[in-house]
C-alpha cells in the first residue's frame, strides 16, 4: 500500500484497521458492485467501494515506488 487519501477521520479509520503505508494488502474478493474484501496483516477487512477508493496501492512487483 502506498498511501491514504480522504478526510482526516477517514484516514484515521483506515489506519485503525491496519492500513498503513508499506503494508501488504491482498484483494480477496471484488465482485460486482459489492464491498471489497481485503487481507490486511492476517485479518479480513470489508470496505465499501467509496471508502476503498481512498487507498493508494502499487502492485507488489513494482519496485519504482518502494523505499530502499
Q: What is the CATH number of the domain that holds 18?
A: 2.30.30.90
Cα separation, 5 vs 19, whole angstroms: 12
**Are residues 37 and 44 in contact, defined by beta-carbon separation less than 8 angstroms?**
yes
Model confidence over 55-68: pLDDT tens digits? 998 887 765 555 43
Burial 4-20 (b: 16+ CB within 10 A, else e): beeeeeeeebbeeeebe
Rounded CA gap, 54 and 58, in Å?
A: 13
Asked if residue 65 belongs to a domain, the reply is: no
Between CA 18 and CA 9 the distance in angstroms is 15
8: in domain: yes
- Give me the domain span that covers residue 53: 3-60
- Is residue 68 situated within a structural domain? no
Per the domain annotation, does 66 fall within a domain? no
pLDDT tens-digit series, residues 10-29: 999 999 999 998 899 999 99
pTM exceeds 0.85: no
Give the count of domains, the chain. Answer: 1
- Residue 67 belongs to some domain of the structure: no
Amino acid at each position: 500500500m502506498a498511501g491514504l487519501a480522504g478526510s482526516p477521520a477517514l484516514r484515521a479509520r483506515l489506519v485503525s484497521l491496519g492500513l498503513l503505508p508499506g503494508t501488504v494488502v491482498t484483494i480477496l474478493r471484488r465482485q460486482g458492485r459489492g464491498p471489497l474484501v481485503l487481507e490486511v496483516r492476517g485479518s479480513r477487512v470489508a470496505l465499501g467501494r467509496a471508502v476503498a477508493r481512498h487507498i493508494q496501492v502499487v502492485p507488489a512487483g513494482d519496485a519504482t515506488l518502494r523505499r530502499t
